[in-house]
Amino acid sequence: MKKNILGLICLFILAACGTATQQPDVEIKRKVDALLKQMTLEEKVGQMAQITIDVVAKGPDRFRSDEPASIDMEQLRDAVLKYHVGSILNTANNRARTPEVWAEIIGTIQQVATQESRLKIPVIYGIDAIHGVTYSAGATMFPHELALAATWNPEFAYTLGEITAYETRASNIPWNFSPVLDLGLDPRYSRLGEGMGEDPYLISRFGEQLIKGYEGENNDIADPFHVASCMKHYLGYAVPISGKDRTPAYIPDNVLREYHVTPFKAAIDAGAHTIMVNSGIINGIPVHANYDILIKLLREELGFEGLIVTDWGDIENLYKRDMVAVDNKEAVKMAINAGIDMSMISYMYEPFCNDLIALVKEGEVPMNRIDDAVRRVLTLKYKLNLFDKPTVDYKDYPKFGGKEHAQKAYEVAAEAITLLKNKNNILPLKKTAKVLVTGPGANSMRPLNGCWSYSWQGQLADEFAGDYNTIFEAVQNEIGKNATWIPGVSYGKEMDYRIENKDRYEEAIAAARRSDYVVLCVGENSYAEKPGDLVDLTLSKLQLQYAQDLLKTGKPVILVLAEGRPRVIREIASNVNGILMAYWPGNYGGDALADVIFGDVNPSGKLPITYPSAVNSLVPYIHKYSEEQVKSAGMYNYEGDFSPEFHFGFGLSYTDFDYKNLRLSATQISGKEKLEIKVEVTNTGKMAGKEVVQLYTSDLVASITPDVKRLRRFEKLLLQPGETKTVVFTIDASDLAFVNAANQWVTEPGEFKVTIGNTSLEQLFSYKK
């Protein structure tokens, strides 16, 4: 019997292969309307339900699956045929699977859905492919989004998106819960590494390109090499007051609109097909139950027409955690009426389906709200061409995990690495030097890949990524026997990222004394979401103590920071000789770091965040003048201190750049006139290098207190030694706008200042209506 089922699956997959072109919207609408008319209430409600794969996999219960993973046909038929569940996500047992296994698992699901169900509606499968295909063994793992943003090269976002889409589809998965567009203003936040920094414009530029990479230039997601993207986590997710995941945020409406909405508006304009909702609470109201945010703002103002999906179990959270509903039934009513189209139920689909059916029959949820939601689900499935080709043949994706994709992932990692300190030009090191590579991140793939790498928390990276080079292995490839590894401190193997222990500690200190240089790899082990919460942003006591003991040897120490957020290093920052910020650079991060350390690559990364110097000094670069006041005379000599360890946009190079001749095309603009800004940049050093030219503006007087400065444009240049290039930026009144106290976008007349990066170049101009 098993052979017959597998044979049917194979024939089913082969029949479904081939290329496709997205059908015209009018044709899709006709098909969706016709299908809706045939559907019962039960079938409609099922399409709004999403469950995790463990529910329909063989295993002792819904929370665990057997190995090797396989489908429980009875449970699958209960979910898909009896309850008409429309979507499945995740991976069995929280571990990666090969494309071959994915083909068998998803082929089985689609065979039941499209061959045995009354209306032959395919299931849509989704996954969090954040920096590569998280749960596909052998997939190309790029740096995380924070590292991606550190390249300040949006073309890389397109590349990451395109390759990830290709390899996600090769795994028979057409829906990717990415990109993360949250505004990362709080360095304590456990998901900072998944996002693209703390500036709305920077996030917008990268988010647009990620979506184009995922969905294709024309958003033709019927193309079997592209996927439907899912922007997340709408809205204000990354700024909880506590700094801890899924805890309340308090955000004034004008702040929400100006800073947090901006990246999502850009993503909507880029054509993103779906959106995932913030798991937290804004101003006392859970976002999953917030009609004003989901309907009035998202649907009516921003014009988003795609599918709205919850995050994991968040309708249940309305009564289990947030205490705004008395039971599951009321929670379902609140969320669906607030605008949710699909519930990521995860495990218990029966209560959701039964309660929603009852609510419709009782008149508590209008039938037109159900039809609206199901129409969006079906439209997405048609746009993905799942009705005609619900699966693909993984053999049609020969580039999966191959050298071409690997090279691109390496290039992103190499441009992301950010040189934060280089005392007396200690870097690059000579390849004849004797180097001790040590610390908890020195010889493990886990702190290079971070979360969403072969498992949710990333703890399986060393099992699945053993063929790639750790930092030590990459250094060893550069200098051979001159490289020594002794850990000194090691991370635990458990899922808990905080576990670390001394490991040959004294032996490592002795080895440092015999070495010319110490490359100390510190930071954080991998974590994701709530398990990544912390109580102190300072680098761990053991790692700090180890660094201090190494410094006592008198040998030069180069600090390598592999971390998802900026752990405070003020106790050692001034004493080490060099600092490299690696972020979570992926499987090729070790190779890229070694190439930077020994000068094969000239570092060009720039911080997409502000790196704090103290745990009580967490102000981002976007802040008000009062947060950096100069000392005043008199008794009440108030003073504001803005003194991060490293500023937003900062990053050193092995060469030097000189800026001059800042020129504006006018001293005043009005109406829709454009202002052209030019500046000359020269490589005055002896090595070719890439420089990020950053344009900021400052509003000198406004009706509400303006920010000190805001990033408006940037461009990354490659300059040969002695070469000069003129960079031209163009802005207009819309780039000077802000959201006022009446929650309206306005550009007020007055004086503005243009500055270039962290240089002293600045000029004034004015705007007149």
**Number of Cβ within a 10 Å radius of residue 401:** 19
How far apart are the C-alpha atoms of 502 and 487, rounded to whole Å?
8
Closest to 762 (Cα-Cα) out of 641, 679, 643:
679
| Residue 632 Cα distances to 549, 628, 635, 636, angstroms | 42, 12, 9, 8
| Residue 492 Cα distances to 74, 211, 459, 468, angstroms | 39, 36, 10, 20
How far apart are the C-alpha atoms of 293 and 656, rounded to whole Å?
47
Helix (H, G, I), strand (E, B) or coil at 175: strand
Report the interhelical angle of 367-383 vs 328-338 (nearest 10°).
70
| Strand partners of residue 765 | 752
Residue 274 structure tokens: 């779906």
Q: Give me the residue label for tokens 């928390």.
A: 457
Say whether 182 is catalytic: no
Which residues have CB under 8 Å from 680's CB, separation 6+? 659, 660, 661, 724, 725, 726, 727
Q: What is the 3-state secondary structure (H, E, C) of 734-747?
A: HHHCEECCCCCEEC
Q: Is the peptide bond before 235 cis (omega within 30 degrees of 0)?
A: yes
How far apart are the C-alpha atoms of 601 and 157, rounded to whole Å?
20
Q: What is the 3-state secondary structure (H, E, C) of 385-425?
A: CCCCCCCCCHHHCCCCCCHHHHHHHHHHHHHHCEEEEEHHH
Closest to 747 (Cα-Cα) out of 695, 672, 684, 678:
672
Q: Are 338 and 289 in contact, with CB atoms under 8 Å apart?
A: yes
How far apart are the C-alpha atoms of 431 and 596, rounded to whole Å?
12
Q: Check residue 329 and give left, alpha or beta (phi > 0: left; psi -120 to 50: alpha).
A: alpha
How far apart are the C-alpha atoms of 168 and 566, rounded to whole Å?
30
Looking at residue 762, its amino acid is E
How far apart are the C-alpha atoms of 62 and 686, rounded to whole Å?
62
Report the interhelical angle of 349-361 vs 367-383 (nearest 10°).
130
Exactly one of 186, 223, 245, 311 is catalytic; which is it?
311
What are the strands, taking DSSP E only, across 497-654? 500-503, 517-523, 557-562, 578-581
Q: What is the four-CA torsion angle of 701, 706, 709, 710, rounded to 10 degrees?
A: -120
Q: Cα 191–202–189 angle (5° rounding)?
A: 15
Instruction: For the sheet with 668-670, list strands across it.
Output: 668-670, 762-768, 750-756, 689-699, 710-719
Name the CA radius of gyration of the chain, rounded: 27
Q: Are 286 and 280 in contact, with CB atoms under 8 Å apart?
A: yes
Q: Which residues are catalytic?
A: 311
